[in-house]
Amino acid sequence: MLDESKKTFWDWGFFEIDTNGRLIHVSQQLCEHFNLESSQLTHFNQMLKETSLQKIGIAANSEAIVFGVLNNIPCLLKVFLCSQKGFICQVILKYEESYRQELLSLLNNNEQQKRRKVKRKQRPLSHSYTFEQINGTSSAIEQIKELAARVSRGSSTVLLTGESGTGKELFAQAIHDLSPRREGPFIPINCASIPESLFESELFGYEAGAFSGAGKDGKPGKIELAQNGTLFLDEISELPFITQGKFLRVLQEREIERLGGTGRKRVDIRIIAATNRDLMTLVQEGKFRQDLFYRLLVFELKIPPLRDRKEDILLLADQFIDDFNDEFGLNVKEIDPLLKDWMLNYDWPGNVRELKSFIERGMNIVEGGTLTLDDFFLPYANFPIYQKPQMKELLSLEEEVTNAEISAIERALEETNGDKTLAAEKLNIHLASLYRKMSKYNLK
Ligand SMILES: Nc1ncnc2c1ncn2[C@@H]1O[C@H](COP(=O)(O)OP(=O)(O)OP(=O)(O)O)[C@@H](O)[C@H]1O
Ligand SMILES: [Mg+2]
């Protein structure tokens, strides 16, 4: 059976075959999503068209992505070897019927792509400059980059999932920059940072005199501003429930109406959404609309946490050292082996963002050309990195209260991996209040 760690966030289903192509298992989800009757299926050829067993066999050695058509529905499958010397083929993308042509043209270009892939191995990456900025050579990140590059050609909605600091925003920008919409605007909107009362005017805009305080010329909303480009909805889980319904209508009808307006306007936008929360759980808890969730799940790109791609840690660290060398006018050339060991054994709960701040911290202290454990005040390898200094003497009550508040907020953020909504829940305060306090105390 499929190992939990191999599952993507949204499960379209999978099937398992032996090396001769005989079907061993077809998952319930696959039958449901593709309208298949598992009892009538015995061989791979009956199921998956427009690809071959040989292709699957070759692909499986490197956990590759292959194209196929399952019961007339085009899809992308991730193939990997399973322990019983067979293959697991897991559907990671079910194309909407309207994208069939797009997929078929991709299929026709398959050979060309393979040639490009070989070239890419000789030169690290031949995609646009922005994809090159996404550093990493682990197979996990390479695969996501490849998928993201493919999906960027179309206009399908993309949902980026992954822990905080894994690079979701970077991917959103790279997808836009490689897409046919690259000349159009990329409009980001952070759903966590907009007060609930302003959401609709931010998204939909307003006409003159729509409400007291509305300017005399009115104002276009972010959706309108993204016309012919991409709208990036960051932290989509924070979209208020009522706005979710209104936004869903935009996705379905591709039309908007400004607040206080009378006419509707057609919009041509691509949606990229990102979240570090488990939307499925929020749907089950009644906090996120199920219909919107499915609308967003046309294509999910799950960015793996840094601890699952340890090969990238030192590579990224080198990149950040180069960046900070330029910025700070330093000449650090290497990382001491003990520090390397420490870095490879650390879990990086804040992912690449944490690694970047970590390097920045060391670069502020380093002397000479080698970054060492001493530059982080880490006397020995297992010293907890974020140990807070103990308070020595009693301060004024006001200072003590401030320190206690800061430490509670830091702890809540640590325990929730930086998820502000969860942290606010834990602290039993409003999200807006958490933001205010974080800004007051300059907390990241
Ligand atoms: N693969 C990468 N190569 C280079 N830099 C990266 C990579 N991944 C992330 N970064 C850097 O790490 C930082 C965090 O990335 P980003 O803001 O995209 O994360 P995120 O997934 O959107 O996090 P959050 O969920 O907290 O919003 C940024 O400074 C980004 O440039
Ligand atoms: Mg982000």
Q: Please say whether the beta carbons of 416 and 423 come within 8 A.
A: yes
Q: Which residue has the tokens 């103990």?
A: 390
Residue 233 alpha carbon to ligand 2 centre in Å: 10
Which pLDDT does position 77 carry in this prediction?
Answer: 79
Which pLDDT does position 110 carry in this prediction?
Answer: 41
Give SS3 for 222. helix
Residue 418 alpha carbon to ligand 1 centre in Å: 13
Residue 321 alpha carbon to ligand 1 centre in Å: 16
Domain boundaries defined on the chain:
4-108, 129-302, 309-376, 397-440
Task: Write the CA distances from 177 to 128, 148, 155, 230, integer angstroms.
Answer: 8, 11, 13, 10
Which pLDDT does position 387 carry in this prediction?
Answer: 41
Chain centroid to CA 43 = 35
Which pLDDT does position 102 carry in this prediction?
Answer: 54
Residue 168 alpha carbon to ligand 1 centre in Å: 6
By most ligand atoms within 8 Å of CB, the mutation choice from 145, 166, 186 for ligand 1 is: 166
- Name which residue leads in pLDDT, 172 or 129: 172
Q: Which residue has the tokens 């993309």?
A: 158
Which pLDDT does position 271 carry in this prediction?
Answer: 95
The answer, yes or no, to whether any atom of ligand 1 lies below 6 A from the CB of 352, is: yes
The ligand minimizing its distance to the Cα of 188 is: 2
- Name which residue leads in pLDDT, 298 or 316: 316
Residue 395 alpha carbon to ligand 1 centre in Å: 38
Q: 153 falls in which pLDDT band (50, 70, 90)?
A: confident
The set of long-range contacts for 150-153, using a CB threshold of 8 Å and a minimum separation of 24, is: 150/76, 150/106, 151/93, 151/175, 151/299, 151/301, 152/176, 152/178, 152/179, 153/102, 153/106, 153/178, 153/179, 153/180
Residue 100 has pLDDT above 50, yes or no: yes
Return the minimum-mean-pLDDT range out of 33-37, 38-42, 212-216, 335-339. Answer: 212-216
Residue 116 has pLDDT above 80, yes or no: no
Distant-in-sequence, close-in-space partners of 114: CB < 8 Å, separation ≥ 6: none
Residue 121 has pLDDT above 60, yes or no: no
Q: Please say whether the beta carbons of 343 and 180 come within 8 A.
A: no
CATH architecture of 129-302: 3-Layer(aba) Sandwich (3.40)
Q: Count the Cβ atoms, other than its own, within 10 Å of residue 194.
A: 21
The answer, yes or no, to whether any atom of ligand 1 lies below 6 A from the CB of 315, is: no
Q: Which atom of ligand 1 is nearest to the CA of 169?
A: 18
Give SS3 for 57. helix
DSSP per position, 96-128: -GGGHHHHHHHHHTHHHHHHHHHHHHHSS--S-
Q: Please say whether the beta carbons of 344 and 308 come within 8 A.
A: no
The average pLDDT across 321-331 equals 92
φ/ψ bin of 303: left (φ > 0), alpha (ψ from -120 to 50), beta (otherwise): beta
CATH class of 397-440: mainly alpha
Task: Write the CA distances from 331 to 321, 327, 363, 369, 373, integer angstroms.
Answer: 9, 11, 10, 6, 17
Q: What is the pLDDT of residues 122-136, one digit of tens each?
A: 333 333 346 777 888
The ligand minimizing its distance to the Cα of 174 is: 1
374 φ, ψ to 5°? Answer: -60, -30
d(CA 241, CA 200): 12
d(CA 388, CA 439): 20
Q: What is the pLDDT of residues 216-241, one digit of tens each?
A: 678 889 999 999 999 999 999 999 99
Return the minimum-mean-pLDDT range out of 65-79, 191-205, 317-331, 374-388. Answer: 374-388
CATH architecture of 309-376: Orthogonal Bundle (1.10)
CATH class of 4-108: alpha beta
Residue 272 has pLDDT above 60, yes or no: yes
